[in-house]
Structure 1
């Protein structure tokens, strides 16, 4: 028999799975795969959540986040919403670099993209969008957050997480450890097209009052825009913005 914790965990997994398919929505099968549930189980839970207004269903059958979540989120925004503080920094990064700039937040073992601001360069990467989630160690935001956890936390995370099954051999433990070392050396993380070939990214950690990496600023663009020479220009810009945002959030 499922415990209350099991049920709540499954509900959370389903809601996160639906959010990963925003804004177009996800099919029952897609949500089930993302949540790690059998399709009939996912369908029963989605139907129950629909009745509570926590999910919605489009005319084509795709599942979307529901209106009750918006109301609940609005009630909690005064305590948790930091996007108003982050927005000017994200915009300035996109203006200064011409690349797409992002602000992501850590949620447990994942990062969630909260803000996107497209730059002036006409060719853009569409790997990231608001609401998308990645495990720590995946994409530049997830890598830089993981890199600035303690060594013990990193090893515990790698022991309980299989990134290879979804993201391939470039995300095995040895490869992730090497990128952590590189990130700590440079101060910023680099994603050299590991998610989508030709789409590169750089990320810098934003820290809370306890010096914990709770957020990240990142830039993405095509490979030709992230040469070694240009990374030497973008890196200091990104790190400076992350430092200034850290200070701004601490003053909040």
Structure 2
């Protein structure tokens, strides 16, 4: 079964944001603001990429969708970061309807063979465990009889941490919540040209059968000022605590995320990015 992760790296689509902007230019100005881009690269480099580089099953595709308007200095930096990662494909796209663009981008790297396609989304400040692809394929084999009777099935690994990166490293709060974007995958029937991005992750339980796996840390969900889902009032704040030595070792072992590298990346940011 082909496994595809899709990352929207500051793609200025029409839709796909909970916070709206008055115009495409306003959205681009927001997305490409230097302070925001500095922080997105910091989380992309120190949180999202390290566990993907260390997957116990490295047979997957990472589709990184960018706007064709992404400024050259950011595109060059992104290309340099991914140059030694054979799974990564950068897909520049013009602004357009978010779900259609993401669906077309996903299908451009999809094999469309006789097997279901496993698809997961990767926000640039999230992370999955180093054995995520291995566990996902194992889960897909477990639910294969069910998949034969349905168009798509959600496979949800619901345990991990909400993390807040900064110049002191990581603050973390344990979480065990259904249908978070990180570590949630869809198993899509082989002949359906749909994408994981066709569905709001919190609502997949209304659209398809879901299977939840718990009891093992499988995800890190980034928490920062630029999170789209945290821009509205009344959002509950996690009960964060600094990582102690044991937690730092756990994060390194399970996620290949080094708290010291996170701290160094954020300490190096211009003060306007913090």
Question: Could you state the TM-score of these two structures normalised by the residue count of structure 1?
Answer: 0.28
Q: Which has the larger radius of gyration?
A: 1
TM-score w.r.t. length of structure 2: 0.27
Higher RCO structure, 1 or 2 (CA under 8 Å, sep 6+): 2
**Which has a greater percent of helix?**
1
